[in-house]
Every structure is written in C-alpha cells, then in structure tokens.
C-alpha cells in the first residue's frame, strides 16, 4: 500500500508539480470560491461585489503595496548595524518576520472593520443590528495584542532552539 502511495505522489509531482494533498486543497479552495460566487449571484449583489473586488485590488496595488513596502524597508534599515563575524554558523532568526505577520494581520483586520473600530457607522450599525460599536476598538486591540504576544513567544522559542543547537554543537 505504501508503495502505491509513493507512486501516486511521484506521478502527481511529475504531472502536476506538487503533491496530491496540494491539488486536493487547491480544488477545495476553488469549490469554496465558486460557492461564495454563486451566493453573491443568487443574492443579486454581484455588480457591487465586482466593483468592490476590483476596487480592492486597485487600492492594494496602487496605494497599500507601496506604503507597506516603504514601511518594511524603513523598519529593516538599521544604520548602526555591526558586521557579523564570518565564522558564525548559527545566525539568529530574522526578527522582522516575527513582526510582519502580526502587524500585517492586525492592519488587515483594521482595514476590514475600520468603520466599526473607529465608530464611523454607529447609527447605521445600531439601526441594523440594535447593538453598539463600542466593543470593536477594544476587541481589535486585544486581537492585535494576542497576535503580537504569540509572535513574540514564537520568536523566543526560535531563539531558545538556536541557543540549544549552538550549545549542543560546542
């Protein structure tokens, strides 16, 4: 049985370029996207959805991408950087990646929920669902804090693993 699975993986890698699990997940993503598109069409809001989708792509590509590229470049530039000795075999993990992910997710959540976070749609929201928008700012800050704390723990764990490997090699 295992030889058949290995043969299927080799066949998939040769024909498709990746393993069968990748193909299965990709097909599931397409099925989910197709289902979502069918719900949009059935609801009769496909024109607004297309406008929103194209607008989001244009805003991202023309405005947001340059902004966060500049921000990332600014954060990564360290003028007082000391040169590393060339014989150092184990370098610490790059800290910037542990900052990019939680900040990126936090900004994405803010972009999605900013009318509620900044209470810009208080009247409409209350009329629609009879709830207050007050908790959204606190919840967004809490989620941001949890993301940053989780990332800090992951970075500390990576540093600890590095230190352990360094002490084991000596």
- Average pLDDT value for residue range 109-135: 89
At residue 78, does pLDDT exceed 70?
no
Q: What is the pLDDT of residue 82?
A: 56
- Average pLDDT value for residue range 35-61: 89
Q: Which residue has the higher pLDDT, 75 or 119?
A: 119
Q: pLDDT > 90: what percent of the chain? A: 33
Q: What is the pLDDT of residue 80?
A: 45
- Best CA proximity match to 101, nearest among 138, 150, 134: 150
Backbone angles phi, psi at 89, to 5 degrees: -75, -35
Q: CB of 96 within 8 A of CB of 76? A: yes
Q: What is the pLDDT of residue 110?
A: 93
Two tokens at 140?
């967004």
Question: Using CA atoms, how far apart are residues 165 and 102, in angstroms rounded to an integer?
Answer: 27
Q: What is the pLDDT of residues 2-33, one digit of tens each?
A: 888 888 778 877 888 887 888 899 999 999 99
Question: Using CA atoms, how far apart are residues 143 and 56, in angstroms rounded to an integer?
Answer: 23
At residue 52, does pLDDT exceed 50?
yes
Q: Which residue has the higher pLDDT, 45 or 165?
A: 45
DSSP 84: P
At residue 151, does pLDDT exceed 90?
yes
Q: What is the pLDDT of residue 145?
A: 98
Q: Name, of 41-50, 75-84, 129-138, 146-155, the range with top average pLDDT.
A: 146-155
């Amino acid at each position: 049985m295992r030889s058949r699975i290995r043969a299927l993986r080799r066949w998939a890698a040769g024909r498709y370029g990746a393993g069968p699990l990748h193909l299965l997940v990709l097909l599931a993503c397409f099925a989910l996207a197709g289902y979502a598109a069918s719900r949009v069409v059935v609801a009769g809001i496909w024109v607004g959805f297309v406008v929103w989708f194209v607008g989001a792509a244009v805003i991202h590509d023309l405005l947001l991408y340059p902004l966060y590229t500049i921000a990332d470049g600014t954060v990564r530039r360290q003028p007082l950087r000391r040169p590393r000795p060339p014989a150092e075999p184990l370098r610490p993990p790059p800290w910037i990646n542990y900052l990019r992910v939680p900040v990126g997710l936090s900004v994405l959540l803010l972009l999605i929920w900013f009318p509620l976070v900044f209470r810009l749609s208080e009247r409409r929201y209350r009329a629609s669902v009879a709830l207050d928008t007050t908790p959204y700012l606190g919840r967004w800050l809490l989620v941001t804090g949890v993301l940053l704390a989780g990332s800090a723990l992951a970075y500390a764990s990576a540093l600890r693993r590095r230190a352990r490997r360094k002490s084991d090699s000596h």
